[in-house]
Structure 1
Amino acid sequence: MDDTQEPLVLDLVEWIAKEPRGYEEAMTAWRTSCPRLTIWEDAQELGYLKRESAQAQGAQVKVTQAGMRFLRENGRDPKAA
């Protein structure tokens, strides 16, 4: 991940950490057609996000412990908002 993409990954992880997000909602909000912007993929590869299946709600996207650490290390506290 390059320096220009890190702030976007940080924004994505923070957005998901603020409240539960459905997979479809997350994909709609963060989808890009630019092959150079791999924000979603970067966040997953770095272990900041995970996708879980919940029978009643469908697939959900959640922040991992590594993702929460990434937020704290960058001065972001999603629970404070």
Structure 2
Amino acid sequence: MTQSASLLILQFLSWVADRPRTRTDVMEAWRSCPRTSVWEDCIVHGLVRFDKDKTASLTARGRAVLDGGKADE
């Protein structure tokens, strides 16, 4: 993972952790970055999940990455 991708992932994780975000919030906020797949990458790597109420939340792994300040693969 590149350093810029890691920084974007940390920014996204911090944004999700800040307050409850719906799937619509995520799509609206991150569609301005069509060439990056930050939120999709976070889902694939198990860092973020969407709960039954369609609210995004950090997984334990996502919290660890955010707290550790790095996105290890």
Q: TM-score, normalised by structure 2?
A: 0.84
Q: Which runs of 5+ in 2 are unaligned?
A: none
Aligned position for 2:4: 4
CA shift at 1:20, angstroms?
0.7
Structure 1 unaligned runs (5+)? 76-81
More strand by share: 1
Residues matched between the structures, number: 69
TM-score, with structure 1 as normaliser: 0.76
Shift of 1:46: 1.3
Q: Which has the higher helix share?
A: 2
- RMSD of aligned residue pairs (Cα, Å): 1.5
Secondary structure of residue in 2 paired with 1:5: helix
- Give the ranges of 4+ consecutive aligned residues of structure 1 lying more than 4 Å apart after TM superposition: none
C-alpha distance in 2 between matches for 1:17 and 1:29: 14
- Bigger CA radius of gyration: 1
Instruction: Find the counterpart in structure 1 of residue 50 from structure 2.
Output: 51
Give identity over the alignment, percent: 26
Q: Which has the higher contact order (CA 8 A, sep 6+)?
A: 2
